[in-house]
Structure 1
Amino acid sequence: MRRPFLPAAVLSLGVAALLGAPPAAAHEGVGQRPATYRLDGDQYVSKFEGIGVDPAERTFYVSETTGGEIHRGDVRTGETEVWLDEGADGRTTARGITTDHRGRVYVAGGPNGIDADRPDLWVYAPDGRLLAALDLGVPDAFLNDVTIGPDGAAYVTNSNAPQVFRVAREHGQWMARVWVDATGTIPTQTGFNLGGIVVSPDRRALVVAQGNVGRLWRFDLRSGAVTPIDTGDVDLTDADGLVLRGSTLTVVRNFSRVLTTLELGRHADSARLLQETPTDPARVFTTAKEARGRLLLVDSRFEEPTPTAPFEVVALPLRP
């Protein structure tokens, strides 16, 4: 059952706590966009992970790991609702989420299909119609994050193996396959491996984070070649969501509670540190997306064994 839209909760801390500004700085004036967006989660249960923003940057979508609900919100008014219910279309959990140029919504299922006859990934129309529920047929696949490539296909990371999947509609059918398997190039380590993914500034490659070891990898879109991105001695441990604006890459480092901002080389073969911004120690941000000049960050509640309300998305001004 879908729950009704909820008004935004504009709290006196929010942005102020993240930026070190006095509490009054977090308040936005009448008619302005909210500093926080309240999600209708279940007390002591709900935890969140992924976020996507539609092409017009008016609507955002947030995935819930504890049940697989997909929440939808209005960037301008702050109103939110549960858009897709728990258990819908065989989904018991959800991770990365994004939209393409037509507003279609791609949802990565994390471990949804492991040891179960359930889909790994879903594609929805903007009106909520299911377009595809896909089983990749890959054992132990943990579909983590998703981005749209220059060819219009969706590219999805696997956190349990050095693989990126490609999802597209071909010859009238939705198809999903292993696009690149980097076994032998990317060592699989204990914990979550490949996660955040974006398209490089020159749109010739994918930039992928390996959070457990704090590395970035370049996947060439034409050849499929995989090479490490030279980040020097920059600490990228706990790298999760990635946001690229021009050549500026923001790395959301969840349990490290830091936003690390890098300047990517045009061909994404190197990066240099621009800034490190500590985030609110009471929150664990996982992923983020840009919307109308601000960064929308998901407060996951991953640090709480029994998560408590309020459940929120927090907005921050982007680095100019």
Structure 2
Amino acid sequence: MSVRSLSATLALSAVLLGVGVPTASARPSSYELPGDAGGSKFEGIGYDVRTQRFYVSETTGGEIHRAQLRSAAATEWLRGDGTDGRWTARGVTVDSQGRVYVAGGPNGIDHPGEPDLWVYDRSGRLLAALRTGVANAFLNDVVIGPDGAAYLTNSNAPQVFRVTERHGRWTVRTWVDAAATIPTQTGFNLGGIVVSPDRRALVVAQGNVGKLWRFDLRTGKVSAVDTGAADLVNADGLVRDGNQLWVVRNFSRVLSTLRLSYDGRTGTLVSATPTDPARVFTTAKLAQGRLLLVDSKFDEQVAVPPYEVVALTPPRG
């Protein structure tokens, strides 16, 4: 077998088994996360291209952990357990200025009056702690739009929120309420969110029914993404690179690869790759050609170590 064939075989095996492949730069194939004595669970991940750092949210307490791509262990970056009113955390992303956005999930539901989301600078200084003003808002995931604003999904209603900053003043508002187009179903509704290849729309996952939705950034119009007969139930995190769209399907334990049209109106299923059956991956970020997937521990009543982010070479098509 040639070296190239062996390399391809190892990469495919890594995706199937949920383990990483060593590379010439000796980057770790997995990253250890800190955890609490009573068990920790995790969900979101953000990546800072400039510093090659990534950030992971802990749902059990709201801590935010940080690691370098070449270091095998993360450290606690922001404390939880009520720090800045944060008792839990979900989606994380980083903008071009290195500012870290954290979606609070049910933080404002479980702790009335506390924030729904936070923004920090690279040093960990709090820039904003905001409430949406919407009852029962479960802020799930977040993406930076081409306009520099942050867009966050609501898992309890078909809404997308928009966060902006002007002269140091931060605001959040309901950008689109799609109740007339997207029926609210039992379970988690809107979750993963990415910008379309043409940067004129947002593509959003509705995991409980396995659908993708297109939100036009200019008009706010919402339409279903045509994905044919693709099974996308339990779609959680979305990752896009060019016209490649990876859908992390948590409890289905599948990584689905779609070829997305330039305008984000259609998606063609390329592959549905089983992931490690012992892990429930929630979301991911692409970092230097590898997907960094969060092992949530959501399948364990009381989570036990090791707590990890796993690096995979993603399938393409």
Cα contact 1:230–1:270 (8 A) shared by 2: yes
**Given the alignment of the two structures, is residue 236 of structure 1 paired with residue 232 of structure 2, yes or no?**
yes
In the TM superposition, what is the alpha-carbon distance from 1:56 to its structure 2 partner? Answer: 2.1
Structure 1 residues 296 and 57: CA distance shift in structure 2, 3 A: farther
In the TM superposition, what is the alpha-carbon distance from 1:189 to its structure 2 partner? Answer: 0.2
Could you tell me which residue of structure 2 aligns to residue 272 of structure 1? 268
From 211, 216, 230, the equivalent of 1:220 is 216
The amino acid of 1:105's aligned partner reads V
**Following the alignment from structure 1 to structure 2, what is the Cα–Cα distance between the partners of residues 27 and 270?**
32
Could you tell me which residue of structure 2 aligns to residue 32 of structure 1? 26
Any idea what SS the aligned residue of 2:84 has?
helix
Cα contact 2:14–2:313 (8 A) shared by 1: no
Cα contact 1:241–1:251 (8 A) shared by 2: yes
Could you tell me which residue of structure 1 aligns to residue 89 of structure 2? 94
TM-score, normalization by structure 1:
0.92
Structure 2 unaligned regions, length at least 5: 1-10
Cα contact 2:12–2:315 (8 A) shared by 1: no
Structure 1 residue runs of 4 or more that deviate by more than 3 Å after TM superposition: 14-18
Structure 1 residues 143 and 298: CA distance shift in structure 2, 3 A: same
Could you tell me which residue of structure 1 aligns to residue 16 of structure 2? 19
The amino acid of 1:90's aligned partner reads G
Could you tell me which residue of structure 2 aligns to residue 307 of structure 1? 303
**Given the alignment of the two structures, is residue 110 of structure 1 paired with residue 116 of structure 2, yes or no?**
no
Any idea what SS the aligned residue of 1:295 has?
strand
Cα contact 1:15–1:316 (8 A) shared by 2: no
In the TM superposition, what is the alpha-carbon distance from 1:27 to its structure 2 partner? Answer: 6.1
The amino acid of 1:180's aligned partner reads V
State the number of aligned residues: 305
Structure 1 unaligned regions, length at least 5: 1-13
**Following the alignment from structure 2 to structure 1, what is the Cα–Cα distance between the partners of residues 38 and 237?**
25
**Given the alignment of the two structures, is residue 206 of structure 1 paired with residue 202 of structure 2, yes or no?**
yes
- How much identity, in percent, do the aligned residues show? 65
Any idea what SS the aligned residue of 1:113 has?
helix
**Following the alignment from structure 1 to structure 2, what is the Cα–Cα distance between the partners of residues 27 and 216?**
31
**Following the alignment from structure 2 to structure 1, what is the Cα–Cα distance between the partners of residues 17 and 64?**
31
Structure 1 residues 200 and 29: CA distance shift in structure 2, 3 A: closer
| More RCO (CA 8 Å, sep 6+) | 2
In the TM superposition, what is the alpha-carbon distance from 1:172 to its structure 2 partner? Answer: 3.4
Any idea what SS the aligned residue of 2:107 has?
coil
Could you tell me which residue of structure 2 aligns to residue 131 of structure 1? 127
Any idea what SS the aligned residue of 1:222 has?
coil
Cα contact 1:15–1:35 (8 A) shared by 2: no
The amino acid of 1:181's aligned partner reads D
**Following the alignment from structure 2 to structure 1, what is the Cα–Cα distance between the partners of residues 300 and 37?**
12
